[in-house]
Structure 1
Amino acid sequence: MRALPLLAVFGGWLVQSAHAAEAQDWLQRLASAEQQQSFQGTFIYERNGSFSTHQIWHRVESSGEVRERLLQADGSYQEAIRVAGQLRCVSGDSAVIAGAIEQTQTKNASFKSLGNWYDVQVTGASRIANRDTVVLALTPRDPYRYAAEFQIDSQTGLPLKSILLNDKGQMLERLQFVQVDIGDVVPSMLQPSAACKPVSVAATPPSKDVTQAWHSDWLPPGFTLKSTSQSPSSVTQDLVDRLTYDDGLSGFSVFFEPLHGAQVETSHSQLGPTVAVSKRIPTDEGGVMATVVGEIPLGTAERIALSMRAGPGDKRQATP
């Protein structure tokens, strides 16, 4: 008789393991789908109570290179072309169009480690744009990141709906397709209009090792440094250093801009899931403004900004 509870526990463990494996399988399909599947469609992008409608053409070339064209279908004319994940031209408000196009691209990094930072579960099935979907929920295991939900096309693995939620379960951002056609995209549909102006890509290598110039005394667990860069300030033409981090799903960047002795106040703002927190870091050259920008909770960004320091740091893993 005493064996029955043990069998029940063991059976429950097997069911949980099967569910976890199913969730990881859908996560991996989601990670690779946009690199394998061409499609075109129309989606709604919602942030901070504001809606916009966009058309997208997404073509995977025989070489594996991905080309995309994004066109805002309402309001002012806005267009963008992206090749291999890099913006090649943009028209209209580049911040608005770049924000929308960023949400159409899931992270290319492996999702295998996300289980360390999120509870990943298949929570049901639904339909989006007249296609069957699987609902995948990612609930953070700590307060340093947002929750996410994806509705994934059952046949292709493409995300047909994605939402970000804060710690109270309130929606911060939504992208949802209302029409989608899976299959080859005619190359002519990817040609930019005359209004789409080329985006210059700096070919000059950084003048210094950015990782030797700056470090953080604290980072949220799971966020690792993915890239560093330098670019001219749009205001002063000083070189602005940039460190970019992500956990495989969410990400943020830290910008460092010389102040030349100017006195500035700490500031913070939030638009939907995107936050920006600025803090002055004293240096021998008159101080630097460190600005954290990303899709992370405001409290997380504030803690990161307060932890930024000049110099390379000691390379140790910070504690939560």
Structure 2
Amino acid sequence: MPASKTTSGVRMLSCMPLTVMTVVAAADIATGPGVGFLPLVSLGPAFSGLVGGWRRTAVTGMVALLLCVALGTYDGLFEERRGFTAMAAVAGVTGVGIAAAVMRSRREAELAGVRSIAEVAQRVLLRPVPPEAGPLRAAVSYTSAHAEARIGGDLYAVVDSPYGVRVIVGDVQGKGLAAVEAAAVVLGAFRAAAHDEADLAGVGERLERSAARELDGERFVTAILAEIGTAQGVVFLNYGHPAPLLVRRDGSVDEPQPPVHALPLGLGAHGGDRPKPYRADFAGGEQLLLYTDGVTETRDAGGSFYPLGERVRLLSDPDPRRALDALRADLVRYAAGPPQDDAAMVLLRYADTAGA
């Protein structure tokens, strides 16, 4: 929702208590005491308790009581019990509104604390990607399927190791804290192995052992690993993950496919082919986009999937961060509604040595 609409909605709710009491007072004066509008003055503190703090609710309740006394005196209702009954109703609703405001404030404080913890967890789990790593410039985009969440089941990391720049992008099966825990296992193993193992296959083996040891039998992680060494080119290792996109200097797009389709991490006990490293050309001025299926499985109002390969033209901005932001904004516009899955993208741009 646009910020302007949200702000206008908050203003309307803030004005609601005063507006309601004004309307009730005008109706009571216009129709006289016979209709019995006076108890409706209690709607003012009732609405205030829903949208304001307890102090504001108490002030609104006092204003409502004074208005009730004034109207009751004007209508002559204190000569009978109706005026006192209306005042009791206003006082009771004000008390309930104050209690509701206090409880809501406590819940909002608790939610703010949870959000703060989630942000810290994100910084520990999904560390910021370095803007430059070896011959590459890098940028990352992460969109959670839950509007209030900061982290989810998608994972990524870029490590500038002694053996070249090593990258992982993955997607944990499932949601919730269990998915976050699985992502932490894979990322921890990758960051250690990326510095220790001399080849990408060794990194993959470390990840498989960690996943087999730490993940339960029903959870798995699709992942793609990439290594960009000193020589131009990129080596991939794919564990059941969507193929990467290589954007060439002329704007054409390649989608390197693995020689065998291996099972995701965590399913090695089920047999099947093990992943094999495969190589693709990756040279100066070209771009590599790694992503999760939350990107390509985004649907528009007609049910069509997001055509990622056709949208890579949006990556033309010289700054990788702005280029990836443009692609993410297009993805959000394309979606028919809120995202149904987490979506992560990592963009790597090879330094344009020809222009150096």
**TM-score, scaled to structure 1:** 0.26
Higher strand proportion (structure 1 or 2): 1
Higher alpha-carbon Rg: 2
**TM-score, scaled to structure 2:** 0.24
